[in-house]
Amino acid sequence: MTEKFTHGYALLIGVGESAYSKLSLPVTVKDTQAIYAALIDPDLCAYPDNQDHIRVLNNKNATKTGILDGLNWLKEKAQSDPGATVFVYYSGHGWVDKTTKQYYLLQHDIKPTKIASSALSAEDFTSALRQIQSERLLVVIDSCHAAGMATSKDADLELDEEFDDFIRVAPSKGLIDELKQGKGRVVFTSSEGEQKSYWVKDETISIYTYHFLEALQGAGNKPGDKEVRVSNIMNHLGKAVPETARQLYKVEQVPYNDITGGDFVIAKLLGGKGLPDKGWEEVKPEATQKINKIADNISQYAQQIYNINEANGGHFGNVIHKN
């Protein structure tokens, strides 16, 4: 019998379709949908499958107001549940102003001629996170995407010319330190500096998310473990992501991982059953099959879904989602 991760709460943000089409990143929606599918799977992470525990903001729902409202929702959840474990995942553009050095997350309703005033500033994002009084908070930021993850490679090159006052980069060490202020706060990023985040060759999912899904199924755990800790995720991502990026693209993509904020449990492992005696290698074939199935189903349904919370009866992996 599987166990529910009853104190888990997640906000998953995949900006995807931007109101300014040149800034669209369709792969980010597939990533959030894949993570969602893993979180609610009773045989994997076992989060309760309802909007009291998980909210997903994709495409037109990933607005500045929507994101801040989502973070405020997490604040309220943490206030009502002292045992809350909070997981925030953001996938979209992250830019820094060359002049002011201010960092911005570019949500759906961005105004291209008014980036500084319309984008979600790192200051506002950090301030909202600080309001979440949980001693177990994991923030994942995938914000430096490779050419080709935009609508087209030509569109991606045009962005560099059109917005030459900005640089697409991962959050700096200084910003990460700001985000980590407080007890029990951990921040992961999919790459460092101006390194790009790449996707698997068929563009169904990003390399980072693929290996994150492996970690949620025990790739960084030992035989007998029944829970996934942030250290398990960190250890697997730190090894697997650079290896895959070099293998597929001959480039460097090194995730930033630092668990000085604490090593807490983020999910059940295989529904609480845990890894068998032979460990990850025994379950890896089935785990890989499950990830591929999730990715395939998401590719099939993603075109019709703006917000996964609207996907009544949608199939994701072995999960049938019903509101």
Q: Cα–Cα–Cα angle for 163, 128, 78, nearest 5°? A: 145
In a domain, residue 215? The reply is yes
Q: What is the domain count for the chain?
A: 1
Least confident stretch, 142-151, 177-186, 271-280, 308-317:
308-317
- pLDDT tens by residue, 50-65: 999 999 999 999 999 9
- Examine the pLDDT at 311 and tell me if it is beyond 90: no
CA distance 200 to 209: 10
Range(s) of the domain holding residue 105: 8-316
pLDDT at 107: 97
- Examine the pLDDT at 304 and tell me if it is beyond 70: no
pLDDT at 146: 76
Q: What are phi and psi of 123, to 5 degrees?
A: -60, -45
Burial of 138 (0-12, 13-18, 19+ CB in 10 A): buried
pLDDT band at residue 314 under the 50/70/90 scheme: very low
Q: Which of helix, strand or coil describes residue 76?
A: helix
In a domain, residue 201? The reply is yes
Q: Which amino acid is at 300?
A: Q
In a domain, residue 2? The reply is no
pTM as predicted: 0.91
pLDDT at 312: 39
In a domain, residue 321? The reply is no
In a domain, residue 128? The reply is yes
Burial of 100 (0-12, 13-18, 19+ CB in 10 A): exposed
- pLDDT tens by residue, 192-251: 999 999 998 777 789 999 999 999 999 999 999 999 999 999 999 999 999 999 999 999
Across the chain, mean pLDDT equals 89
Exposure string for 176-213, b = 16+ CB within 10 A, e = fewer: bebbbeeebbbbbbbbbeebbbbbbeeebbbbbbbbbb
Percentage helix, strand, coil, to 5, in the chain?
A: 40, 20, 40
Q: What is the mean pLDDT of residues 137-164?
A: 78
Burial of 288 (0-12, 13-18, 19+ CB in 10 A): middle
Q: Find out whether 31 and 37 touch, Cβ atoms under 8 Å.
A: no
Q: For the chain, what percent of residues have pLDDT higher than 90? A: 75
Nearest one of 176, 182, 204 to 132, comparing CA atoms: 182
In a domain, residue 132? The reply is yes
CATH, residue 186? 3.40.50.1460
In a domain, residue 3? The reply is no
List residues bridging with 93 in a β-sheet. 106
**DSSP for 142-166, written as a single string:** E--BPTTSSS-HHHHHHHHHHTTTE
Q: Find out whether 283 and 273 touch, Cβ atoms under 8 Å.
A: no
In a domain, residue 54? The reply is yes
